Amino acid sequence: MNRPASNIGGIAASPLTNNGDAPPAPRRQFDARGYALDRAPFLVACLMLVVIVGLYGSLQSGVFTLDELNLDTTATLTLLLAATGQTIVLLRGGIDLSIGGVISFGTVLAATHFGDDPGSVLLWSAIVLAVGFGVGMLNGLLISALRLQPFLITLATWSILSGASLMVLPTDGGQVPSWWQAIGSASWLGLASPVWMLLALLVFWFWFRSTRLGIALKATGSNERSAFLSGVSLTRMNLVTYGLSGLFAAAAALYLTTQTGAGSPTIGKDYILPSVAAAVIGGVSLFGGRGNLAGTAVGAFILTIIGNLVFVLHVSSYWQPVAQGAILLIAVLASSLAEKAAQGQDR
């Protein structure tokens, strides 16, 4: 029964590497199926965007112009900024409902405190951003220190901030200086400022994802325990991810005031669940660790342009939520089926 040493496990060692050492590692093959399954949700989202834009372009003239790009980006950017923070939190495996409160509170502070002089605008913009970051850090702290569920904690802080917004400004109103509103409609080289902000956001993400923090973020979302064992501080991770989420929500609030010119104590709730929807449509997993901001951007544009499409189809605008819900379902089914297929492959 003695087997020759070079035939361990019944596999004859290849003559080329038969030097008596450990058997050669099998060559790593490019796993095309795994790669495709990993990217499937993002690719499905891109495909949907192409189809929707194609349909829209065939029904309406002038869709494939810079003007249309400027218009759509201007309309999408608030949602996209909110969804950027949400994406960061989702990648960590959490969820942030408090962004609705941060957005309301931000617009209300801006609309009641912005004076005509740039100094006060700068000061209060900084305060709004600091409030957003601070509220986010507080979320992260509560979630870490008391080991509480993000859903309830951020639901509670959402309620508190919504109430605070109503106390500052009971109804829609207030105003921001006209030069502040002009920022939102300025353009340079034929591209409107929101397009430049979008590009800046994508550049930020390209840099962020390969920083230590970005890598630790995805690692923590994929497997909290192994990230912790690899030296990631979960408390610091929660502080930073929820802090960034609040910061981006505050930025969304500031951008929103350039569009509306006023504050609203209730507008934030319109962005809570759509921000999650945009991320999920773009292939960000609610279980953490999977997805990126490019996908979220695609998701946000889908949600906006579907509204344009409903408009040019000359049907009731009430069909818009139906279409958005259907797209959300298609996207999430695609990603959960891909996830199941990927798991089946691993077994």
Partner 1 sequence: MTAFWARNRLIVLAYAAMLVLLLVTSLFSPGFLAESNLRSVVVLAAFVGIVAFGQTFVIIGGGIDLSLPWVLNCAAILMTAFAGGQDVALLWLVPLLLAAGAVIGLLNGVGVAVFGVPPIIMTLATNVILQGLILVYTGGAPTPTAPPLIQFLAVGRLGPVPVVALIWAVLASIAWVLLSRAAFGRYLYALGTSRTVAEYSGVPTLRTAVLTYVISGAGAALGGMLLTGYSGQAYLGMGDPYLFTSIAAVAIGGASILGGSGHYVGTIAGALVLTVLGGLLPALRLSSGALLVVYGAVILLTVAVGSESFGGIAAAILRRRRGQDPAPRK
- The site map against partner 1 for 240-279 (x = CB under 8 A) is -------------------------x-------x--xx--
In this structure, the dihedral spanned by the alpha carbons of residues 179, 182, 188 and 194, taken in order and rounded to 10 degrees, is 130
**Residue 23 CB, nearest distance to partner 1 (Å)?**
36
| Residue in 69, 155, 202, 342 binding partner 1, rule: CB under 8 A | 155
Which residue number, 129 or 138, has a Cβ lying nearer to partner 1? 138
Q: Assess 142 for contact with partner 1 (CB under 8 A).
A: yes
Amino acid at 101: G
91 in contact with partner 1 (CB under 8 A): no
Terminal Cα-to-Cα distance of the chain (whole angstroms): 32
Asked whether position 318 contacts partner 1 by CB under 8 A, the answer is yes
Which residues does 338 contact at the CB level (< 8 Å), separation at least 6? 37, 38, 40, 41
Q: Is 1 exposed, middle or buried (0-12, 13-18, 19+ CB in 10 A)?
A: exposed
Choose which of 60, 175, 260, 336 interacts with partner 1 (CB under 8 A): 336
Q: Does 152 bind partner 1 (CB under 8 A)?
A: yes
> Which class for 77: exposed (0-12), middle (13-18), buried (19 or more C-beta within 10 A)?
buried
Q: Nearest distance from residue 328's CB to partner 1, in Å?
A: 5
- Let me know: does 90 contact 104? Beta carbons within 8 Å: no
- Count of residues that bind partner 1 according to CB under 8 A: 49
117/111 Cα distance (integer angstroms): 14
**Which residues contact partner 1 by CB under 8 A?**
95, 142, 145-149, 151-153, 155-167, 170, 265, 273, 276-277, 280, 286-287, 316, 318-326, 328-329, 332-333, 336-337, 339-340
